[in-house]
């Protein structure tokens, strides 16, 4: 399979390097000799001199076939571009590869010049010799804001094929620009499009090992896109494995298992993937309660319980009942689902985050935090939200999807989840202590530990089974409780801890980890215990960098 890199000739790097100083240099220190260098460096005064005094033409190309308008467009000099157009420059003039000035604006995302060109008659759908339109160039260089601008304001087609059948989504996926992929999917770009080699955007993302781009495509796609084969008969997962991208291969293979059915029969264990392990956990809790009451507290083979042991025993049972109640609450409660939008607007009236009420088509309001776009739910979501592929919803202050409660943990049910963990840990701790006390105080005349252990297993099997299950549950519950308590004290989620490197808002000016929502131990804990969550708009730092996922 050939790499598309060899075919990219859109304002190539060599052309950019010729003018790399143009955005950083001082025009007064540069030796400007003609209209092309004057346009490239944005020196309008000298450009006027060349045109109005020396009579040079702005409609002719330089020795390489490039026009002064192209150089001004590449470097985003809107005033120079306007002057060139007003003094004879052809807004649709094409170089030797049929690229226009508008193509060149997309390389660096020159929105101001693009407005000048398009308002003066530039053809937004003009294609070069490779079939690349401006949207292809923007996708190849990851200019997401520019791409959105020409789509929303000028109606550019966001899903056209080039001469090889590759759409902008193909290029964004291949280059690994996840934000561009996200925007195109949000705009309903079709990710099932095949190029001349039978490759979809997911194939190209897999070839390059772009994990984040693959993740976005998988979450927004279907099982069919995972199973599509190219002309050589390879699926995206097979291509990733062949190229040595193990993380991508694992991601795609796992996605196929999640989408697929693991049985030959229609009646199978596939329900576990949908329902999760909540029924299993419910069964374990009930079994522990029954064993504790029948085999520890009221077992006829044990001596009669004392008042103190009985009191603590029934306290443990009461805590187990509270655990069941909280289990039901955090399993059935809305974790903070963000309803899907209608026409680009959310229909949630109770969410204060202004981004949720922004119309993406109004480019004067949308500033480009592209990670907040959900291509699946078609909403603009709060920064700390995330789309859960299992629940198929975006969740506010997403913490994690817990299969043991068959629900996400988010803004609206995290308090219930934490209380559930605390109650479970406390009840299992009391149960273990009482079971050990009952077993330890069992009067025996046995001479060795081996015979004592055999006696306990044969005479009190229920108590032994309970103790083993309870201790395992205690350690698991304690570990989860400590982890959640630590995160609450720092006002950070499990998802943010696991993916800190991917979230720009979790990094300070020097690139080091910094949580803008951490207000200190006391306030973090107080807000959580009182309200059940913290307000996202109350950030501890003056700036909030954009997130990358």
pLDDT band at residue 537 under the 50/70/90 scheme: low
Confidence at residue 540, expressed as pLDDT on a 0 to 100 scale: 60
Helix (H, G, I), strand (E, B) or coil at 541: coil
pLDDT of residue 6 exceeding 60, the answer is no
d(CA 171, CA 495): 29
Instruction: Kindly state the DSSP code that residue 340 receives in the 8-state scheme.
Output: P
pLDDT band at residue 444 under the 50/70/90 scheme: low
Confidence at residue 230, expressed as pLDDT on a 0 to 100 scale: 93
Query: How far apart, in Å, are the Cα atoms of 346 and each of 43, 340, 359, 442, 463?
Result: 46, 6, 9, 64, 54
**Domain ranges across the chain:** 4-157, 278-333+412-531, 337-396
Could you tell me how far CA 135 lies from the centroid of its own chain?
23
Q: What CATH code would you report for 4-157?
A: 1.25.40.20
What are 466-503's pLDDT values in tens digits? 999 999 999 999 999 999 999 999 999 999 998 887 78
What are 17-26's pLDDT values in tens digits? 445 444 444 5
Across 185-208, b (16+ Cβ under 10 Å) vs e yields bbbebebebbbebbbbbbbbbbbb
377 a catalytic residue: no
Instruction: Kindly state the DSSP code that residue 310 receives in the 8-state scheme.
Output: H
d(CA 338, CA 319): 33
pLDDT of residue 7 exceeding 60, the answer is no
Pair 181, 216: CB distance under 8 Å: yes
Phi first, then psi, for residue 389 (nearest 5°) are -70, -20
The owner of tokens 């201790």 is 471
pLDDT of residue 136 exceeding 50, the answer is yes
What are 104-125's pLDDT values in tens digits? 999 999 999 999 999 999 999 9
d(CA 280, CA 405): 10
Q: Which residue has the higher pLDDT, 218 or 452?
A: 218
Catalytic residue among 388, 394, 402, 408: 402
Helix then strand then coil, % of the chain, to nearest 5: 55, 5, 45
d(CA 282, CA 328): 9
Across 435-451, b (16+ Cβ under 10 Å) vs e yields bebbbeebeeeeeeeee
pLDDT of residue 91 exceeding 80, the answer is yes
Mean pLDDT of 125-129: 95
Confidence at residue 208, expressed as pLDDT on a 0 to 100 scale: 94
Query: How far apart, in Å, are the Cα atoms of 32 and each of 29, 41, 93, 481?
Result: 9, 8, 23, 68
Mean pLDDT is lowest, of 175-184, 454-463, 505-514, for 454-463
Confidence at residue 224, expressed as pLDDT on a 0 to 100 scale: 85
Beta bridge partners of residue 507, listed in sequence order: 513
Q: Taking the CB of residue 492, how many other CB atoms lie within 10 A of it?
A: 20
Could you tell me how far CA 373 lies from the centroid of its own chain?
9
Mean pLDDT of 437-463: 69
Instruction: Kindly state the DSSP code that residue 25 receives in the 8-state scheme.
Output: S
Could you tell me how far CA 236 lies from the centroid of its own chain?
20
């Amino acid at each position: 399979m050939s790499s598309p890199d060899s075919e990219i000739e859109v304002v190539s790097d060599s052309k950019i390097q010729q003018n790399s100083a143009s955005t950083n240099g001082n025009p007064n220190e540069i030796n400007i000799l003609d209209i092309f260098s004057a346009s490239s460096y944005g020196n309008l005064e000298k450009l006027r001199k060349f045109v109005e005094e020396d009579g040079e033409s702005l409609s002719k190309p330089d020795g390489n076939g490039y026009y002064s308008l192209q150089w001004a467009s590449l470097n985003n000099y809107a005033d120079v571009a306007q002057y060139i157009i007003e003094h004879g420059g052809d807004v649709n003039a094409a170089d030797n590869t049929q690229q226009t000035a508008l193509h060149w604006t997309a390389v660096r995302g020159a929105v101001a010049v693009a407005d000048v060109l398009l308002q003066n008659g530039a053809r937004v759908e003009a294609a070069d010799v490779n079939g690349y339109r401006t949207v292809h160039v923007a996708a190849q260089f990851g200019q997401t804001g520019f791409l959105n601008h020409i789509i929303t304001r000028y109606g550019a087609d966001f899903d056209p094929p080039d001469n090889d059948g590759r759409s902008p989504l193909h290029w964004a996926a291949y280059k690994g620009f996840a934000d561009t992929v996200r925007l195109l999917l949000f705009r309903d770009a079709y990710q099932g499009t095949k190029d001349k080699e039978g490759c979809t955007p997911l194939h190209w993302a897999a070839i390059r090992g772009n994990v984040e781009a693959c993740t976005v495509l998988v979450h927004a796609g279907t099982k069919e896109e995972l199973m599509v084969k190219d002309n050589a008969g390879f699926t995206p997962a097979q291509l990733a494995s062949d190229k040595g991208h193990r993380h991508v291969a694992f991601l795609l293979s796992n996605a196929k298992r999640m989408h697929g059915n693991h049985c030959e029969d229609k009646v199978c264990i596939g329900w576990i993937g949908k329902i999760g392990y909540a029924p299993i956990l419910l069964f374990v809790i009930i079994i522990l309660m029954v064993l504790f009451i029948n085999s520890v507290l009221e077992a006829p083979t044990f001596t009669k319980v004392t008042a103190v042991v009985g009191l603590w025993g029934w306290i443990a049972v009461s805590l187990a009942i509270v655990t069941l109640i909280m289990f039901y609450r955090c399993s059935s409660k809305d974790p903070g689902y963000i309803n899907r939008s209608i026409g680009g607007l959310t229909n949630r009236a109770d969410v204060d985050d202004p981004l949720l009420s922004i119309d993406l088509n109004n480019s004067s309001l949308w500033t480009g935090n592209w990670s907040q776009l959900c291509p699946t739910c078609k909403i603009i979501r709060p920064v700390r939200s995330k789309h859960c592929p299992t629940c198929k919803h975006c969740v506010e202050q997403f913490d994690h999807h817990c299969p043991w409660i068959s629900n996400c943990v988010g803004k609206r049910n995290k308090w219930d989840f934490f209380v559930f963990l605390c109650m479970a840990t406390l009840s299992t701790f009391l149960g273990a202590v009482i079971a050990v006390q009952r077993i330890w105080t069992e009067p025996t005349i046995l001479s060795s530990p081996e015979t004592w252990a055999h006696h306990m297993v044969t005479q009190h099997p229920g108590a032994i089974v309970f103790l083993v299950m309870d201790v395992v549950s205690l350690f698991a519950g304690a570990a989860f409780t400590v982890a959640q308590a630590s995160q609450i004290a720092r006002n950070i989620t499990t998802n943010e801890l696991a993916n800190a490197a991917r979230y720009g808002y979790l990094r300070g000016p020097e690139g080091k980890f910094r949580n803008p929502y951490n207000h200190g131990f006391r306030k973090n804990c107080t807000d959580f215990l009182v309200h059940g969550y913290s307000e996202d708009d109350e950030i501890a730092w003056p700036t909030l960098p954009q997130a990358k996922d």
